[in-house]
Amino acid sequence: MSSAPAVDSQLLCQLEDVKKSYPMGDLLVQALKGVSVGITAGEFTAFAGPSGSGKSTILNLIGCLDRPSSGRVLLEGKDVATLGDAELGDLRARRIGFIFQSFNLIPVLTAYENVELALRLAGAPEKGQREVVQEALRSVGLADYMTRRPAQLSGGQQQRVAIARALVKKPALIIADEPTANLDSKNGAAILDLMKTMNAENRTTFLFSTHDAMVMERARRIIRLADGEIVSDDAAGPAAAGA
Amino acid sequence: MTRLALLRRARSMLILGLAVRNLFRNTRRTVITSGAVVFGVALQVLGWGLVDGLDDNFLRAVSTTTTGDILLRPPEYPTDGLSYPLEEAAAPPALTGFSGEAASRVLFSARVVHKADAARAVGVAYDPDQDYRVFPRERWRVQGVWPDAGQSQVALGDALGRLLGVGVGDEVVVQARTVDGAQNALSYTITALVHTDNGQLDNTAVWLRMDAADALLQLQGRRTHLSLHVGTLEDAAVVRDRLQAAGAFTGPDGKLWDAKTTREEAADMLAINDIRRRAILMLVGVIMAIAATGIANTVIMAAYERVREIGTLLALGMKRRDVSLLFLTEGAMLGLGAGSVGAAIGTAGVLYWQFNGIVLGEETMKATGNLPVSAIIYTHFNWGPVIGSLVFSALVAIFASVQPARFASRLNPADAVRAD
């Protein structure tokens, strides 16, 4: 089942009949089978579903990490299929933040440098960079850990650095792929609450892929996938309902 | 500075910074990989310094003892340096138009006899008023004094003296043919044993003043060698050509004397050194090929180990060409870093031996036979091999990094960010 695109004048991202297939050996695996969905600015949305349902593939496409086999992916009105590698890179650098399941920090850089890296790749002016990076780390509670390398930080702290890295450039969209999967429940909840605060304070759009009930509890919208198709789109998730 | 230029500079600094950090990520592996480059570059710089030093050694040995800057011989005189036919001796040219120092000599085959012992020798008849102006003797070691005018006195090369078991004050008989081919033999007192630092002379020379040689050889004003001192070796060819064109080398009999610069005289030995240089280059080439394999292996391993990191950099917006540049920079820095260490080691060695010299042992000097080689070799530092080997090592490292860089830059970020 494919849901209709969200009707909103502030549509940040739109997928129109998007299909994605991967070669696997001699087979062609259909990861997405014609998905259409719209994401409005400021959403806190979870893509949920079992492994292989296509939730990571959707995030890859929205995050401009991959291109659809057919259909259109529009980000801020731009069809990403028409953009070259360099333009996609620019788009990712300036408009999209990523939070990964395994944190994906650069091990040879300190917490400060990891966050700064995102700003430098976004081409932010050097002037004032230090204050912005320090503020980002302060906002995730790591003011005292700036000079530590990832190996010297706990999993929860690493994910906080990743959040600061994603937020520091003030992107329109943050894509979080199973952000709590490698954290214990206490750290996971804290990370989610932090992201929710950022979402509320900055109106930054958060998209998650997850099968963690804790994430789904906090999401305002849950889009469920199975076998490459959207099977439900709960625009008013438990969090929204409770709000 | 424009915004674009600022961005480019910032990107370059970012890539450089990351490359430096990555090189020290696995220090042990980096050090091991660098080893071959360090060895290859050090060998090249040191080897080159040594062979350049051998060139200097040989040129110095011949120019300060036998050739001067330009050596003239009679027209038919052999130039192989192995035979000294006195019958080819001729009256020397007047050197009209030449304002530098000149010294004439007569070299002849001789036999030196002391009691029951005898040795083949090369007689060197010199004009003392001229000779020291072309061949400064400050660095020669003379045990005794040079022969006096009008006396039956000779000086012997110190090694020849040792061979015959003679010393200062001993009597020897010198046998030789006169200019006209007649056998002659005269008795002389040895006044000095001379060490010129030219093994050829020290092993074989019997030094006689020209007046003493006249009595033995009946020279009648003829000479076999005329040496000119013109200043630097580099000036010699120009001066020779100019003087030759002006007819300064034409003898009184109208025949043109053959004129060669020291470098031309030494061409055979210098050619041998060129072969040594090629051998060093080949050896360095093999070592650098091994180094390239090591660097390629290291950078490939780095690329495979860092797939997720590369994916993250791409996800954060790093351009593919910058990812490629990052790996090429890592390779180049590895090559340049290791090359610099190798060049520093090689340079230190070259400079040390440039000032202290490498003293060839007695056995080594014996092995050089009658070659005009100095007993001390001073290495010769020049920037060419240092810069050349640094550029070479960087190029080798960059070349070895091309394939890993291509692999890294072509990764699909969607897959790479989730790699194990």
Task: Look up tokens 């000036």; give the residue.
Answer: B235
Provide the b/e sequence for A144-181 (b: ≥16 CB within 10 Å): ebbebbbeebebbbbbbbbbbbbbbbebbbbbbbbbbe
Residue B121 identity (one-letter amino acid) = A
Task: Look up tokens 């050596």; give the residue.
Answer: B71
Compare A243 and B402 and report the one with higher pLDDT.
B402
pLDDT, chain A, mean: 87
> A with B: how many residue pairs have Cβ under 8 Å apart?
82
* CB spacing of A89 vs B7 below 8 angstroms: no
Residue A216 has pLDDT above 90, yes or no: no
R_g over Cα of chain A: 18
Whether A2 maps to a domain, the answer reads no
Residue B234 has pLDDT above 80, yes or no: no
Out of A98, A109, A122, closest to residue B315 by CB: A98
> Mind telling me how many Å the CA of A109 is from chain B's nearest CA?
8
Q: What is the CATH number of the domain that holds A173?
A: 3.40.50.300
Residue B342 has pLDDT above 90, yes or no: yes
For B237-242, which contacts have Cβ atoms below 8 Å and span 24 or more sequence positions?
B237/B261, B237/B263, B237/B264, B239/B69, B239/B70, B239/B100, B240/B70
Out of B11, B21, B417, closest to residue A100 by CB: B417
Residue A8 pLDDT class (50, 70, 90 cuts): very low
Residue A10 pLDDT class (50, 70, 90 cuts): low
- Cα separation of the two ends of chain B: 42
Residue A235 has pLDDT above 80, yes or no: no
Compare B224 and B376 and report the one with higher pLDDT.
B224
Residue B172 has pLDDT above 80, yes or no: yes
Q: Parallel, antiparallel, or unpaired: how do β-strands A173-177 and A96-99 relate?
A: parallel
Q: B310 to chain A: nearest residue by CA?
A: A106
Residue A146 has pLDDT above 90, yes or no: yes
Residue A93 pLDDT class (50, 70, 90 cuts): very high
Phi and psi torsions of B302, nearest 5°: -60, -40
Please state whether B362 falls in left (phi above 0), alpha (psi between -120 and 50) or beta.
alpha
Residue B305 to residue A88: CA distance in whole angstroms? 25
Phi and psi torsions of B304, nearest 5°: -70, -35
List CB contacts of B202: < 8 A, sequence separation 6 or more.
Answer: B157, B158, B159, B160, B194, B195, B196
The confidence score (pLDDT) of residue B368 equals: 65
Share of chain B above pLDDT 90, in %: 50
Share of chain A above pLDDT 70, in %: 92
CB B60 within 8 A of CB B196: no
The confidence score (pLDDT) of residue A241 equals: 39
Weakest-pLDDT range from A174-178, B24-28, B341-345 = B24-28
* Chain B residues interacting with chain A (CB cutoff of 8 angstroms): 6-7, 10-11, 14, 18, 21-22, 24-25, 308-309, 311-320, 412-414, 417-418
Strand order from edge to edge, sheet including A27-40: A27-40, A11-24, A70-75, A78-79
The predicted model gives A17-46 an average pLDDT of 91
Residue B56 identity (one-letter amino acid) = D
Domain residue limits at A93 = 11-242
Span A79-88, pLDDT tens digits: 988 888 889 9
Residue A236 has pLDDT above 70, yes or no: no
Whether A182 maps to a domain, the answer reads yes
The confidence score (pLDDT) of residue B367 equals: 67
Whether A65 maps to a domain, the answer reads yes
Task: Look up tokens 């005009």; give the residue.
Answer: B372
The confidence score (pLDDT) of residue A242 equals: 39
Residue B15 to residue A242: CA distance in whole angstroms? 48
Residue B231 has pLDDT above 80, yes or no: no
Six-digit token pair at A200?
């509320």
Handedness of CA B341, B347, B351, B352 (dihedral sign): positive
Whether A32 maps to a domain, the answer reads yes
Residue A239 has pLDDT above 60, yes or no: no
DSSP state of A77: T
Phi and psi torsions of B28, nearest 5°: -60, -45
Q: How many domains is chain A partitioned into structurally? A: 1
The confidence score (pLDDT) of residue B369 equals: 62
CB B412 within 8 A of CB A66: yes
pLDDT, chain B, mean: 89
Span B54-85, pLDDT tens digits: 888 888 888 889 899 999 999 989 887 778 99
The predicted model gives B252-259 an average pLDDT of 92
Q: Quick one: which H or E segment has residue A22?
A: strand A11-24
The predicted model gives B182-202 an average pLDDT of 92
Residue A154 to residue B240: CA distance in whole angstroms? 81
* CB spacing of A89 vs B319 below 8 angstroms: yes
The confidence score (pLDDT) of residue A188 equals: 83
The predicted model gives A222-239 an average pLDDT of 81
The confidence score (pLDDT) of residue A3 equals: 44
The predicted model gives A223-230 an average pLDDT of 93
Which residues of B fall within a CB distance of 8 Å from A95?
A: none
Q: Quick one: which H or E segment has residue A206?
A: strand A205-210
Whether A106 maps to a domain, the answer reads yes
Span B348-381, pLDDT tens digits: 999 999 999 888 776 776 666 666 677 788 999 9
Residue A5 pLDDT class (50, 70, 90 cuts): very low
The confidence score (pLDDT) of residue A243 equals: 38
Which residues of A fall within a CB distance of 8 Å from B316?
A: 92-93, 98, 117-118, 121, 165
The predicted model gives A82-100 an average pLDDT of 91
CB A53 within 8 A of CB A228: yes
Residue A240 identity (one-letter amino acid) = A
Residue B94 has pLDDT above 50, yes or no: yes
Whether A1 maps to a domain, the answer reads no
Which residues of B fall within a CB distance of 8 Å from A84?
A: none
Q: How many CB atoms lie within 10 A of CB B120?
A: 10
Share of chain B above pLDDT 70, in %: 96
Residue B271 pLDDT class (50, 70, 90 cuts): confident
Residue A9 has pLDDT above 60, yes or no: no
3-state secondary structure chain B: CCHHHHHHHHHHHHHHHHHHHHHCCCHHHHHHHHHHHHHHHHHHHHHHHHHHHHHHHHHHHHHHHHHECEEEECCCCCCCCCCCCHHHCECCCCCCCCCCEEEEEEEEEEEEEECCEEEEEEEEEECHHHHHHHCCCCCCEEEECCCCCCCCEEEEEHHHHHHHCCCCCCEEEEEEECCCCCEEEEEEEEEEEEECCCHHHHHHEEEEEHHHHHHHHCCCCCECEEEEECCCHHHHHHHHHHHHHCCCCECCCCCECEEEEHHHHCHHHHHHHHHHHHHHHHHHHHHHHHHHHHHHHHHHHHHHHCHHHHHHHHHCCCCHHHHHHHHHHHHHHHHHHHHHHHHHHHHHHHHHHHHHCEECCHHHHHHCCCCCCCCEECCCCCHHHHHHHHHHHHHHHHHHHHHHHHHHHCCCHHHHCCCC
Out of B10, B412, B417, closest to residue A120 by CB: B10
Whether A5 maps to a domain, the answer reads no
The predicted model gives B317-346 an average pLDDT of 92
B33 alpha-carbon distance from chain centroid: 32
Q: A175 to chain B: nearest residue by CA?
A: B315
Whether A229 maps to a domain, the answer reads yes
Residue B230 pLDDT class (50, 70, 90 cuts): confident
Residue A226 to residue A229: CA distance in whole angstroms? 5
Out of A86, A92, A120, closest to residue B315 by CB: A92
Which residues of B fall within a CB distance of 8 Å from A123?
A: 7, 10
The confidence score (pLDDT) of residue B5 equals: 81
**Widest distance between CA atoms in chain B:** 101
- Cα separation of the two ends of chain A: 28
Residue A75 to residue A13: CA distance in whole angstroms? 5
Residue B96 has pLDDT above 70, yes or no: yes
